Amino acid sequence: MKKSLFFILAASALMASCAGSASGNADKNVTASDSTEVRTVECVASGDVVYVDLDYIMSSSKLYASEGKALETKMQEFQVRAAEAQDGWAKKEQSLAQEYNKLQNEAMKLQQDYEKGLVTTLKAQERQAELQKKGESIQTRMTALQTTVQTEGQKLQTEEQALAEEQMVLMNRFQSIARKAIEELNADRRYKMIINAVSVVDADPSLNISDLVLKKVDELYEAGALE
């Protein structure tokens, strides 16, 4: 699972700010947490429209490093287990189907040999009883497999739903702290609008204030803003 599966928020206009600086300048050479990339960010003049990359902020945040990575690992491990279980069930079902088809062919041959007088009635009856016993065994194993698939499949579905809920909660928590960070950064209303980078077709990189928001998000997270 790639990080992009997490936390890509719907494109929307958000009111935001520069880093609370009265002069309109922000910290330069801000290093994104959990990333080797270094971005130089300068606040633009009051009234301009700027943008933020929320996916970048989330994947670089201390919230993601502390909680998101662990959840991502859990989801990846679940996907592997679920795929292995489904593959195992499919192979068992295929094996039983092949065994049953082979049994049917043997039964047909027995019938043909009997009709041709190549086997006595007693021998045919004994062989038929053996084939019937094998058929019942196959049916018993098939029923047991179907029960396993239903029971274990339900457990996997429940686990998948729980992981999806954890992911949604984490996304909601990030949105909450990101909005709070943007509100605090825009307390002086120096920007008329901040938009999500996913809706930006082309823009001057200097209008990207993602690192300013990221810094504030991390500050709020460490201060227990989500508690």
Q: What is the pLDDT of residues 47-57, one digit of tens each?
A: 588 999 999 99
Asked if 42 and 213 touch (Cβ cutoff 8 Å), the reply is no
CA distances from 66 to 17, 33, 163, 222 (A): 26, 11, 17, 11
Tell me the two tokens of residue 15: 């009111």
Mean pLDDT of the chain: 83
Position 224, amino acid:
G
The Cα–Cα gap between 170 and 166 comes to: 6
Q: What is the pLDDT of residues 60-94, one digit of tens each?
A: 999 999 999 999 999 999 999 999 999 999 999 99
User: In the block, which residue shows the tokens 């609370």?
Assistant: 20
Is the pLDDT assigned to residue 96 strictly greater than 80? yes
Whether residue 227 lies inside any domain: the answer is no
Whether residue 72 lies inside any domain: the answer is yes
| Tally of structural domains, the chain | 1
Dihedral angle sign, alpha carbons of residues 79, 81, 85, 90: positive
Nearest Cα neighbor of 51 from 21, 4, 9 is 9
- Give me the pLDDT at residue 8, please: 36
User: In the block, which residue shows the tokens 């996997």?
Assistant: 156
Q: What percent of the chain has pLDDT over 90?
A: 67
Give the structural domain span for 182. Answer: 3-222
* Mean per-residue pLDDT, 3-11: 35
Asked if 38 and 213 touch (Cβ cutoff 8 Å), the reply is no
Q: What percent of the chain has pLDDT over 70?
A: 79
Banded pLDDT at 202 (limits 50, 70, 90): confident
Non-local CB neighbours of 188 within 8 Å, separated by 6+ positions: 17, 18, 20, 22
Whether residue 139 lies inside any domain: the answer is yes
Asked if 20 and 200 touch (Cβ cutoff 8 Å), the reply is no
